[in-house]
Amino acid sequence: MRIGILGDNKSVLAFGALGVETFGVSGQNELLEAIQKIKAMDFVILLITEDIAQNYEQTIRDLFQETLPACLVIPGVNKDSSKAKEGLKKILERALGSENFIN
Amino acid sequence: MENIKATRMELLKLKRQGKTAQRGYKLLKEKRDGLMKKFMEIIRQTKAQRDFLEQKLSNASKQFALSTSNMLSGEVEEIFSLPSAKIKIDVETQNIMSVWIPKFQYVIEGDVKCYSDFSSPLGMAQSLTSFWDALALMIDLAGNEHSSRLLSYEIEKTRRRVNALEYVIIPEIKRKVKFITSKLDEQERSEKIVRMKIKEMIA
C-alpha cells in the first residue's frame, strides 16, 4: 500500500523526503502516463496539487469517483488558487443542495 | 390518458406498481437520511481539518520553494534519494448504505531527516518539519474528504430518485388508477341502465 503525490515538478519535491512517492508532471501526456502508473499499483492515497486539479480537471475527474485511491487536493508551491477549498464546497453543495447549510 | 387501456387487468397492474413505488420511495428516503447523517458526521470534521491543513501547507511549500530556488530539481531529488521515512498504511473499506468508503490505519516510521545539513540549504529543514507534521493530518483528511465526496455522489443520486418518485412517478400512477376506476364505474353504470331498460321493455 503506497501513498503518492501528483503535481508539478516543483511542488512534489519536498514530499520525497516523507516517504511519499512523487509523480512530477508538466503536461497532459505526462499526466496520463502517471495516472496509468498509479492505477496499476496499489496506491491508497493520492495527493494532488491545486494546479493539476485546476488545469486538468477533465483528465483526473474519474480518479475522484473511485473508492481507492483516496484523493486529496492540497495547496502547491504556486500562488494559491482556492481550488482545494472549492472542492469541499462542491461536495457540500452536491450533498445538501446548498453550501450555506453549515458553517 | 388516451393510451391507457381501461381494463381491470391494467388497473391491477397499476395498483401493484403503485405499491412498489410507494415502498421504494419510503426505503430510498430512509437511505437518503442515513447517508446524510453519516455525511454530516464526516463533513464537520473534514472542514476543520481542511482549514488547518491549508494554512500549514501553503506556508511550508512556499518556504521550501524559496529555500531550494537556486538548486536544480535533480539536486534536490538527490538529497532525498534515500528517504528514511516510511509510511505503513493499511486500508479497510467500510460499507455505508451501499457506498464503500475507505478507512486508513497507518504507522509512520523513520524520520524526515535523511540528508546532511551541509549539503542542503538552511531553510529547508524548517519547511520539511512542517510537512512532516502535516503528514498524519493529510492522511486523515484524505480519507475523510474522499469519503464525504463518495457519499455526496450517492446522496445526490438518491435524492434525485426520491424526488422523481415523489413528484413524477407516484402522482402519475395515482392519476392513471383514478382514470381507469372512473371509466370502469362509468361502464358499469351504463350496463346497469341498459339492463334496466331491457327489463322494462320485456315487462
Q: Specify if A102 maps to a domain.
A: no
Q: Is A81 exposed, middle or buried (0-12, 13-18, 19+ CB in 10 A)?
A: middle
ipTM of the complex model: 0.84
Q: Which residues of A touch B102 (CB under 8 A)?
A: 44, 67-68, 70
A12 close to A5: Cβ distance less than 8 angstroms: yes
Q: What's this model's pTM, rounded to 2 decimal places?
A: 0.82
pLDDT at A102 over 60: no
Q: Specify if A72 maps to a domain.
A: yes
Note the pLDDT tens digit of each residue in B143-198: 888 899 899 999 999 999 999 999 999 999 999 999 999 999 999 999 999 999 99
Q: How confident is the model at residue A100 (pLDDT cuts 50, 70, 90)?
A: low
Note the pLDDT tens digit of each residue in B98-146: 888 888 888 887 777 777 777 777 777 777 888 888 888 888 888 888 8
Q: Which residues of B touch A87 (CB under 8 A)?
A: 145, 149
Partners of A7 in beta bridges = A24
| Cell numbers found for residue A103 | 458553517
CATH 2.40.128.20, domain B8-202, yes or no: no
Nearest CA-CA partner of B134 in A40, A55, A101, A47: A47
Q: Which residues of B touch A60 (CB under 8 A)?
A: none
pLDDT for res A27:
81
| Distance from the A19 Cα atom to the nearest Cα atom in chain B, whole angstroms | 5
Q: Specify if A11 maps to a domain.
A: yes
Please state the rounded mean pLDDT for residues B66-71.
79
pLDDT for res A79:
62
Q: Specify if A66 maps to a domain.
A: yes
Q: Give the separation between CA B58 and CA A82, rounded to whole angstroms.
A: 11
Nearest CA-CA partner of B143 in B90, B85, B86: B90
Q: Which of A18, A65, A70 shows the shortest C-beta gap to B112?
A: A18
pLDDT for res A38:
85
Q: Specify if A63 maps to a domain.
A: yes
Q: Which residues of A touch B53 (CB under 8 A)?
A: 74
Q: What are the residue ranges spanned by the domains of chain B?
A: 8-202
Q: What is the mean pLDDT of chain B?
A: 86
Q: Specify if A8 maps to a domain.
A: yes
pLDDT for res B49:
86
- A92 touching B, CB under 8 A? yes
Measure Cα distances from B82 to A16, A35, B34, B77, B87 in Å. 9, 24, 47, 9, 14
Note the pLDDT tens digit of each residue in A2-19: 888 888 887 787 787 777
A4 close to B72: Cβ distance less than 8 angstroms: no
A44 close to B91: Cβ distance less than 8 angstroms: yes
B19-31 burial code (b ≥16 CB/10 A, e <16): eebeeebeebbeb
Q: Is B116 exposed, middle or buried (0-12, 13-18, 19+ CB in 10 A)?
A: exposed
Measure Cα distances from A31 to A60, B76, B120, B198 in Å. 9, 22, 29, 86
Type and span of the H or E element at B107: strand B99-109
Q: What is the percentage of chain A residues whose pLDDT exceeds 70? A: 88
Q: Give the separation between CA A76 and CA A81, rounded to whole angstroms.
A: 9
CATH number of the structural domain spanning residue A12: 3.40.50.10580
Q: Do B61 and A14 count as a contact with CB atoms less than 8 A apart?
A: yes
Q: How many domains, chain A?
A: 1
Q: Specify if A101 maps to a domain.
A: no
Q: How confident is the model at residue B1 (pLDDT cuts 50, 70, 90)?
A: low
pLDDT for res B174:
94
